[in-house]
Amino acid sequence: PALVLCLAVFIGAYFARPPSSAADGNPYETRPAVVGSDIAMQVAATVSLIVFHFRFHAANRNRFVAAARAERGRQLALLEMRAMDALLRRALPPAALVRLVADRGGGGGCAPDESRNAAVVTLRVADVPRIAHERGDDVAVATMHTVAVALDALLESQSARLHAAAEPPSQITPEYAVVEKVKVVGDCWHAVAGLPNSCPFPVSSVARFARRAVDDVPALAAGIDGGVAWGGVLATQRLAYDVFGPAFDGAVAAAKGAPAGEVRVGATGRRQLLDEASSAFDATGSHAGGLPLFADAAEAQRDLVALPGLDGAFALHASDFASPTSAAFQELHASGDQLHTPAAGS
């Protein structure tokens, strides 16, 4: 616009000039041919500059629009990747997920984890057939879904309390979880401790979680067992971390025969609870794996009640934490953690 204005002023001044002649004593003679040439040159220069600026700004605008679209696409892709990452972290244990990412192009799946000191808990919704018969299959499915969601929330809150109690905090990474949910099959909810990450007291960890779950949801029956277990991501489609082995089979068998409100422990799980109670620990050094369920082996033998007619099965009659007389229990109580004690006769 400034160039066009200057050109218009120049042309207007030429046509508005006063007439002159040689008698006026003006040494400069205005020749129309010279002025016309000058006007033509300025018009050409102005048009060239206008075209240049138009194309220059158009190119800049196109580059800006392309960069903005690329950045928007990058942000959308980043949000989608974060959503997929969160979904994968909810579906697979972090340790297995890291191995899967490292094995890109290796055919999928990962080598199974093996633990000689694992523990599995199976929580079963009791009386599902009766609920389905009396109130309909849709009510039974809704009940199992509600219970599974409650167990997931309980496990997440327990993991959050464990992280908050870690001292020093570096001992527990943000992805560390002592009890890992495995799967939900029918009316059974399964979790494992000691896979894929090891922990000092796996049976105590799952027993404490089972006791809390049964206290919160009286319709649950729990089965616990320990020993040898394998876990891994099998196949390449519909990925899931699965656990199998004697510990898993023992927990399923214990849960099948347990009535609502009872926690049953297999023979191998009982031996591991006794071993964990006999091991030395202190309140500040065992936070990464929780606390032993019992303060000593004598307390474990007293609260693990053999069930008549069931070879190798024991009912767990114990509080969520170690004995109130133990230093570890007092230390944890001082930290403000919630303590759940079963009702009398449970």
Q: What is the predicted pLDDT for the residue at 283? A: 45
Helix axis angle, 2-15 relative to 32-91, nearest 10°? 170
Contact criterion met (CB below 8 Å) for 272 and 316: no
Mean pLDDT of all residues in 108-123? 81
Residues 6+ apart with CB under 8 A from 279: 200, 201, 292
Is it the case that residue 22 has pLDDT exceeding 70?
A: no
Angle at 263 between CA 310 and CA 207, to 5 degrees: 120
197-215: b (≥16 Cβ within 10 Å) or e: bbbbbbbbbbbbbbbbbbb
- What is residue 166's predicted lDDT score, i.e. its pLDDT? 52
Q: Angle CA(207)–CA(181)–CA(114) in degrees, nearest 5?
A: 85
Q: Which residues contact 38 (CB under 8 A, 6 or more apart)?
A: none
How far is C-alpha 337 from the chain's CA centre? 24
* pLDDT value for 340: 35
- pTM attached to this predicted model: 0.64
Binning pLDDT at 50, 70 and 90, where does residue 341 land? very low
pLDDT of 2: 75
Residue labelled with tokens 């297999």: 266
Residue 139 and residue 132 in contact, taking contact as beta carbons nearer than 8 Å: yes
Region of residue 60 (phi > 0: left; psi between -120 and 50: alpha; otherwise: beta): alpha
Nearest-10 crossing angle of helices 267-278, 202-216? 110
Q: Which tens digits make up the pLDDT trace of 259-289? A: 888 888 888 888 888 888 877 544 444 444 4
What number of residues does the chain have?
A: 346
Helix axes 137-165, 202-216, angle to 10 degrees: 130
- Alpha-carbon gap, residue 75 to 130, rounded angstroms: 51
- Residue 296 CA to residue 327 CA, distance in Å, equals 12
pLDDT digits (tens, 9 = 90+) for 50-72: 888 889 999 999 999 999 999 99
Residue 328 reports pLDDT greater than 50: no
Q: What angle do CA 161, 166, 172 make, to 5 degrees?
A: 100
pLDDT digits (tens, 9 = 90+) for 66-96: 999 999 999 999 999 888 888 877 777 777 7
**One-letter amino acid for residue 216 of the chain:** D
Q: Mean pLDDT in the chain?
A: 75
**Alpha-carbon Rg for the chain in angstroms:** 39
Which of 38-47, 93-102, 159-168, 206-215 is predicted with the least confidence, judged by mean pLDDT? 159-168
Question: Strand pairing of 188-193 and 113-125?
Answer: antiparallel
- Residue 190 CA to residue 223 CA, distance in Å, equals 10
Measured CA angle at 208 (ends 217, 312), to 5 deg: 95
Confidence of residue 311 (pLDDT cuts 50, 70, 90): low
* pLDDT value for 25: 58
Rounded distance, CA 123 to CA 251, Å?
A: 9
pLDDT score, position 59: 93
What CA–CA distance (Å, rounded) separates 131 from 144?
11
Q: Which residue has the higher pLDDT, 313 or 73?
A: 73
pLDDT value for 343: 38
96 contacts 110 by C-beta, under 8 angstroms: yes
